[in-house]
Amino acid sequence: MRRWPLYGGGLALLQAALLSACDRAAEAPAPAPITNAVAPVVEAPAPSGPERLILAFGDSLYAGYGLDRGQSLPEAVQARLRRDGINAKIVNAGVSGDTSAAGRQRFAFALDNMARKPDLVLIGLGGNDVLRQISPAETRMNMTAMLDEAKRRGIPVVLTGMMAPPNLGPDFSSQFNAIWPDLAKRYDATLYPFILDGVIGNAQLMQADHIHPNQTGVNKIADRVAPIVETALKKAE
């Protein structure tokens, strides 16, 4: 798959937002424990044919932070798959605030609580690792553990990647940004390199925090991600 361009004009906005968020994170108390529960997305009419069960496992960018019910990325992707004639059901296990370490702790639980083994897993974590400036080595270790678990269970994976802004330094950025393409190659996973590509930096597509997409932004991301998920499902048949 081709590499998506870096986030250009949105980089300065993301940098400022990350710096502000990091300052707030340093001052704020630790977040309360979050439930491990997974929630099915709002149902839309499903086409005929065998159901393709998908687990969307990520952070606030999957959970639909700041959006109304029915507007999250997994729901938007599900709607597009169904529109294309695929009887897809996506279970949204996005949890706002999750780091890769928190995701690693609940990944097996989420899989165990599916109605059956999913046909595909979408993994979208890493943004909160950047916010907390967690070591890229730790992020890589956590992502690797989740991919190991998916491989052990025989479940194909789509990775929606994250990128670090340059204000964290060239060493951090190069180590962090390499995680997703490296793991995609190692585990033969499908890769969408940067989940906010084409959205970050555009005020019409982002919420006021400049980090989370609004509904229009989510729809733009879904337009790009859904065909990748569709291809991955066909590959997994």
pLDDT digits (tens, 9 = 90+) for 66-91: 999 999 999 999 999 999 999 999 99
Domain for residue 209, yes or no?
yes
pLDDT mean across residues, the chain: 87
Domain for residue 43, yes or no?
no
In the prediction, which pLDDT does 6 show?
Answer: 40
Tell me the average pLDDT across 206-223.
Answer: 97
Q: CATH number for the domain including 224? A: 3.40.50.1110
Our count of domains for the chain comes to 1
Domain for residue 5, yes or no?
no
Domain for residue 33, yes or no?
no
Tell me the residue type at 116: R
- Does position 178 have pLDDT exceeding 50, yes or no? yes
pTM listed for this prediction: 0.84
- Does position 107 have pLDDT exceeding 60, yes or no? yes
Tell me the average pLDDT across 111-138.
Answer: 98
Domain for residue 185, yes or no?
yes
Domain for residue 36, yes or no?
no
- Does position 52 have pLDDT exceeding 70, yes or no? yes
- Does position 200 have pLDDT exceeding 90, yes or no? yes
Q: State the catalytic residues.
A: 60, 209, 212
Q: Which two tokens stand for residue 108?
A: 């097996």
Domain for residue 172, yes or no?
yes
Domain for residue 83, yes or no?
yes
Domain that holds residue 181: 10-27+50-93+100-236
Name the band, by pLDDT with cuts 50, 70 and 90, for residue 44: low
73, 117 in Cβ contact below 8 A?
no
In the prediction, which pLDDT does 2 show?
Answer: 32
In the prediction, which pLDDT does 45 show?
Answer: 75
